[in-house]
Structure 1
Amino acid sequence: MLTIGCHLSISKGYLHMGEEALSLGANTFQYFTRNPRGGKARTFDEADMKALQDFAKEHNFGKILGHAPYTMNTCAADPGLRGFAKNMMREDLERLEYLPGNLYNFHPGSHVKQGVDQGIEYIVEALNETLFEGMQTKVLLEIMAGKGTEVGRTFEEIARILDGVKLKEYMGVCLDTCHIHEGGYDVIDGLDSVVDEFDRVIGLDYLQAIHLNDSKNPRGAHKDRHEKIGEGHIGLDAITRIINHPALRTLPFYLETPNELDGYAKEIALLRSVYKEA
């Protein structure tokens, strides 16, 4: 069965997100753990998180994905900003212990003219100071489109980060179809080769989730502009091959397309219609 959801707002609570996802035809969802452009987290509500956990189990949801805010730059030049990022990640992971068995995704960050090597060193440092033994959440590095000084724009950069992490068993990767397309990987005509390259460089065991997005730009643009499914440069045919690929089809897919809820419902129905059940 296709495991697919979209990005929902936490503003009305955890259980509400689960109910909203189900109403859209989804069987998972993604949400920002806190204000995506700030750092303030929602007031902790253990009972609400437990209610979501029970609801997700009752309705056979796939893994729910908590997304870190965009302001969490683990490789900032300013040590104060790096400390802020570590504190955010630490608090998010502590809260996610109340939703055990799910995922936490973050953008590796921007090195801001320090260079990729220094950026990777700082990201590894943040993860090694934040991950803890026995945690029940997988922490995912998201592959980026490569705009500006983003770190994690290639499989090789992601692999270098993973190589430096001590508690590798708690790590994974989130592949964004728009990002890797705009990063130069040919997911339209060369999907098998891209999957093989990911396996060779990173290892498919690390691949835990896919952000499923079309792209407003052609391959290699490095701009990170998401488009609705079938309306961009990737196209519905290529996206259909992605969700049906033998190495990818059982992963959870999360839509981050420019949509309101009714648009997400239509995309979820469309994708279910082109998914080939085993």
Structure 2
Amino acid sequence: MDIPQFGLGTYQMDDLDECATAVETAVDVGYRHIDTAQGYENEAAVGDGIARADVDREDLFVASKIDTESLAYDDVLESTRESARKLGADSIDLMYVHWPIQTYDPEATLPALDELVDEGVIDRIGLSNFRPDQLEDAIDRLDAPVYAHQVEMHPMLPQDELHELAVEHDHRLVAYCPIARNQVADVPEIREVAEKHDATPAQVSLAWLMQKENVTAIPKAASPDHITENYAALDVELDADDVDAIDGIEDRHRIVDFEEAPWNHG
């Protein structure tokens, strides 16, 4: 199946029982896309939640990410096979390189991903947090297509250049931190649009993302109320004036930033 336009993020779901319950709840609410990572240390809990949900596995799209310390050729192969075991999956729908830092070496990392596709361990290759030049270099090197690029994306970080590349190369741009850890609730333009639609600022931010070509949003949520509230963003239809108002927000900043991040180098 293709990647759904909306999914559940599981970052910092360290309580494994809570994580499994959140995944089960999300699937029962209607989510069909679950996102995790080796570095979250909750892949097994995600697998448990999927197993408990009343939906066939083939009707779900599950993505994970290779840790930055496991990007050498052999480590990519070994760690990804272990991720599949933890997730209880014959194959992983989408496997990302989490960050192009530390042990990332395009000459070793990317051929290992191609091998995993050839072996059927993963169905698709994803990249995450790549600069535009790194993204285009990886696209050129890989035999398999880049299916998705996951980055922080929200109204204060619209990622225009990476979005243009996603449309040009026909891959999905998957937005993490899509509500900017709820900072969108403090933005006047978003609050005004939310009042107009009888929606929450978070729902408006998610709807704004999902109205963009080739964009998928994966908000993190643990409580049933939050999971259900986010899902209702699918019913929010913004008009051109709403989109223009949000596009015109002047505040621009990142939530996730650190010295080694790719955009701080090169």
Do both share a fold (TM > 0.5)? yes
Indicate if the aligned counterparts of 1:124 and 1:165 stay in contact, CA closer than 8 A: yes
User: Is 1:173 the counterpart of 2:148 in the alignment?
Assistant: yes
Match of 2:7 in 1: 5
Structure 1 counterpart of 2:36, which letter? F
User: Is 1:102 the counterpart of 2:93 in the alignment?
Assistant: yes
Match of 2:141 in 1: 164
Counterpart-to-counterpart distance in 2, 1:13 and 1:109? 30
Count residues with an aligned counterpart.
218
Q: Identity of paired residues, percent?
A: 11
RMSD: 4.5
Match of 1:254 in 2: 218
Counterpart-to-counterpart distance in 2, 1:172 and 1:18? 23
| Equivalent residue runs for 1:43-62 within 5 Å | 51=51, 55-57=54-56
Counterpart-to-counterpart distance in 2, 1:125 and 1:213? 31
What are the Cα deviations for residues 38-72 of structure 1, in whole angstroms up to 9, with x where unaligned? xx9749x8xx79956x93349x95x4223236454
Task: Tell me by how many angstroms 1:21 deviates.
Answer: 0.9
Structure 2 counterpart of 1:55, which letter? D
User: Is 1:87 the counterpart of 2:78 in the alignment?
Assistant: yes
Counterpart of 2:106 (choices 120, 124, 130) is 120
Counterpart-to-counterpart distance in 1, 2:94 and 2:152? 18
Indicate if the aligned counterparts of 1:211 and 1:254 stay in contact, CA closer than 8 A: yes
TM-score by structure 2 length?
A: 0.58
Task: Tell me by how many angstroms 1:195 deviates.
Answer: 3.4
User: Is 1:207 the counterpart of 2:212 in the alignment?
Assistant: no
| Equivalent residue runs for 1:6-85 within 5 Å | 6-8=8-10, 11-12=16-17, 19-23=24-28, 25-32=29-36, 34=38, 36=40, 42=44, 51=51, 55-57=54-56, 63-68=60-65, 70-74=67-71, 83-85=74-76
Counterpart-to-counterpart distance in 1, 2:110 and 2:79? 16
Match of 2:250 in 1: none
Indicate if the aligned counterparts of 1:214 and 1:232 stay in contact, CA closer than 8 A: no
User: Using a 3 Å threshold, how does the CA distance of structure 1 residues 172 and 231 change in structure 2: closer, same or farther?
Assistant: same
What are the Cα deviations for residues 53-105 of structure 1, in whole angstroms up to 9, with x where unaligned? x93349x95x4223236454416xxxxxx644441023335776835573333
What are the Cα deviations for residues 191-233 of structure 1, in whole angstroms up to 9, with x where unaligned? 5x76334333xx02x2274435133xxxxxxxxxxx1273367
Task: Tell me by how many angstroms 1:157 deviates.
Answer: 0.9
Structure 2 counterpart of 1:119, which letter? D
Indicate if the aligned counterparts of 2:126 and 2:147 stay in contact, CA closer than 8 A: yes
Task: Tell me by how many angstroms 1:6 deviates.
Answer: 1.8
Structure 1 counterpart of 2:55, which letter? A
- Where 1:198 maps in the other structure, the secondary structure is helix
Structure 1 counterpart of 2:226, which letter? G
User: Using a 3 Å threshold, how does the CA distance of structure 1 residues 83 and 178 change in structure 2: closer, same or farther?
Assistant: same
Match of 1:220 in 2: none
TM-score by structure 1 length?
A: 0.56
- Where 2:140 maps in the other structure, the secondary structure is helix
- Where 1:4 maps in the other structure, the secondary structure is coil
Counterpart-to-counterpart distance in 2, 1:239 and 1:179? 8
Structure 2 counterpart of 1:32, which letter? T
Counterpart-to-counterpart distance in 2, 1:68 and 1:195? 20
Match of 2:234 in 1: 272
Match of 2:118 in 1: 132
Task: Tell me by how many angstroms 1:141 deviates.
Answer: 1.0
User: What are the ranges of 5 or more consecutive residues in structure 2 without an aligned counterpart?
Assistant: 191-200, 239-266
Larger helix proportion, structure 1 or 2? 2
